[in-house]
Structure 1
Amino acid sequence: MKRMLTILLSLAMALSLLAGCGAKEETQQPAETDNTQSEQPAETKLSGAVSLNGSTSMEKVVGVLGEQFMADNSGVSVTYDATGSGAGIEAAANGSADIGLSSRALKDEEAASGLVGTTVALDGIAVIVNAGSKVADLTVEQIAQIFTGEITDWSQVGGAAGTISCIGREAGSGTRDGFESITKTKDACKMDQELTSTGAVIEAVAGNPNAIGYASLSSVEGKDTVKAVTVGGVECSEATVLDGSYAIQRPFVLVTKDGTALSAQAQAFFDFATSSAASDLIRSAGAVPVA
């Protein structure tokens, strides 16, 4: 009997030790960890096309911006159709282009129709004469009188005798609209030639010793075939355009439609073009950045 009790006690102790080991092992079991990583959204790579339509005067600015944007976004192509400001504004209105380009501010009726104009740069409109002309400075009033036919001979403004030949842009051109608005000659200009591009105006003035015309600052810089006269004693330059001392200047405008979302790639281009990151590029194209 005594021996049986001893055996039972031994079994009880063994079972107690086993239970203790099991409990210890259970407490030492490492807690289950969640190895699931929080998923980060992958960066969306832009692709597709961005269509720009409008001002011929914005060609250099749009060119450098488009080239850089495509270099930074290899899946995107930026196209530019140089049709003039009026056509560019219409393209933005009817959706045939992502972004319209205008070298003038939107008119009240255009803004009222739901279009939005965002100034991306400023541009001086240079008044140009033939490189051989003796005339170096004109006032805004004299320029207006020349283009409306009140002054017809260069000798009246200090030049050599010769009948003045006025050359300008076609109706609907932003450059023409800007020039006529500033000089208060709208619908009153008497021109010998109305040409459809800034380059054509420069070429025509370069080939005619008695010619006068107008062109964007960015288009005439570096040209030695024409001469930009000072206006009221102020040269047309980036500094004088930015500080407002040069009288004949206009904005370069990106035109979009209010309430109509741009595609991802078009919005990205718009954001880039209007950011300070684009300032040096705009400056290199001869215009004055505003960001």
Structure 2
Amino acid sequence: MRIKKLLATAALAAMTFSLVACGGSNDKSADTSSSDKGTITITGSTSVEPIVNAMKTEYEALHPDVKIQYTGNGSSAGIQDTIKGVNNIGASSRELTDEEKAENLKETVFAYDGIAVAVNPANDVKNITLEQLQKIYSGEITNWKELGGKDAEIYVVSREESSGTRSAFEELIKLEETDGLTSSAAVSEGNGPVQLAVAKNENAIGYVSFAYIDDTVKQLTVEGVEGTVENVKNSTYPLSRPFLFVVKDGADNKTADEFLKFAVSEDGQKCVTDNNGITVAEEEAAQSK
């Protein structure tokens, strides 16, 4: 009787272990027998949070001896943490700058994402161009009537300077060709606060990762193209960027290296698709067409 109870308990434990996050597949590509132990500290982009948290849940289920700590403090901060040795892995939602690449960093692109332009649902404007975005965020356009909307001052919402979303957005709208971000812009730290600011103000405009668009805000088309995963894949949506992990090249950190392998594995990439991201394979396929 004692043996039967032990067998039953073991069977139940095996079933529980197989029910991991991201809808784990039956054919696991990750090595569940890994003996790696320790804590992986990840800091950086808030845009990657839904995907990284899903990967964290999945990976910890597959590797019970490993714990992952993620802090969203902005892409630039996460990259600097990696350079200084404060974290094991930095998370960025933009390309590395030449200065950052010179710091002996190794990058792993694990997903691609679109940047959505969000306005309040009460706003009548439906489409916007890159040039109009540039003029709004530089302070040249200040009233919605200049864009076919009502006579109301535009409440501009941007991100903190360390934000990868901000860096990518400003590069894509070529804000560097102007005097820079208007001094009247409200600065919010994180995608969630931007979304909330737009939802609360019918004259607001902001930009967030695709994953943060819901029925509290309205997404504008950009250059007449709808912001969808499919349109990022086929390269027609103008506001898109990579998600990447960075580590110190040559650093002896087997536990972190194993997580990076997981991030681009079948199971890791399922966490990407389950959270409205675009997988590396999908983007490569789109680029090859």
Establish whether TM, by shorter chain, passes 0.5: yes
User: Does the alignment pair 1:260 with 2:251?
Assistant: yes
State the match for 2:259 in structure 1.
269
Q: 2:204 aligns with which of 207, 211, 218?
A: 211
Code of the aligned partner of 2:220: V
Question: How far, CA to CA, are the matches of 2:181 and 2:139 in structure 1?
Answer: 7
SS of residue in 2 equivalent to 1:282: helix
User: Does the alignment pair 1:278 with 2:271?
Assistant: no
Change beyond 3 A, Cα 1:76–1:163: same
Question: Residue deviations 1:78-129, cap 9 Å, x none?
Answer: 1101111111001111111110001111001111121122211111010110
State the match for 1:172 in structure 2.
162
Question: How far, CA to CA, are the matches of 1:260 and 1:47 in structure 2?
Answer: 17
**Kept after mapping to 2: 8 A contact 1:137/1:231:** yes
State the match for 2:152 in structure 1.
162
State the match for 1:181 in structure 2.
171
Structure 2, gaps ≥5 residues long: 1-32, 282-289
Code of the aligned partner of 2:113: D
What does residue range 81-100 of structure 1 map to in structure 2 within 5 Å? Answer: 81-100=71-90
- Which of the two has higher C-alpha Rg? 1
Change beyond 3 A, Cα 1:161–1:49: same
**Kept after mapping to 1: 8 A contact 2:137/2:185:** no
**Kept after mapping to 2: 8 A contact 1:120/1:254:** yes
The structural deviation recorded for 1:193 is 0.6
SS of residue in 2 equivalent to 1:218: helix
The structural deviation recorded for 1:44 is 4.7
Q: 2:188 aligns with which of 180, 189, 195?
A: 195
Identity within the alignment, %: 39
SS of residue in 1 equivalent to 2:273: helix
User: Does the alignment pair 1:151 with 2:141?
Assistant: yes
What does residue range 91-170 of structure 1 map to in structure 2 within 5 Å? Answer: 91-170=81-160
More moved, 190-199 vs 86-95: 190-199
SS of residue in 2 equivalent to 1:288: coil
Question: Residue deviations 1:251-272, cap 9 Å, x none?
Answer: 111011112122x321111100
State the match for 2:43 in structure 1.
53
- With the length of structure 1 as denominator, give the TM-score of the two structures: 0.82
Question: How far, CA to CA, are the matches of 1:44 and 1:201 in structure 2?
Answer: 40
The structural deviation recorded for 1:57 is 1.0
SS of residue in 2 equivalent to 1:246: coil
Code of the aligned partner of 2:111: A
**Kept after mapping to 2: 8 A contact 1:219/1:286:** no
Question: How far, CA to CA, are the matches of 2:172 and 2:210 in structure 1?
Answer: 15
State the match for 1:68 in structure 2.
58
- With the length of structure 2 as denominator, give the TM-score of the two structures: 0.82
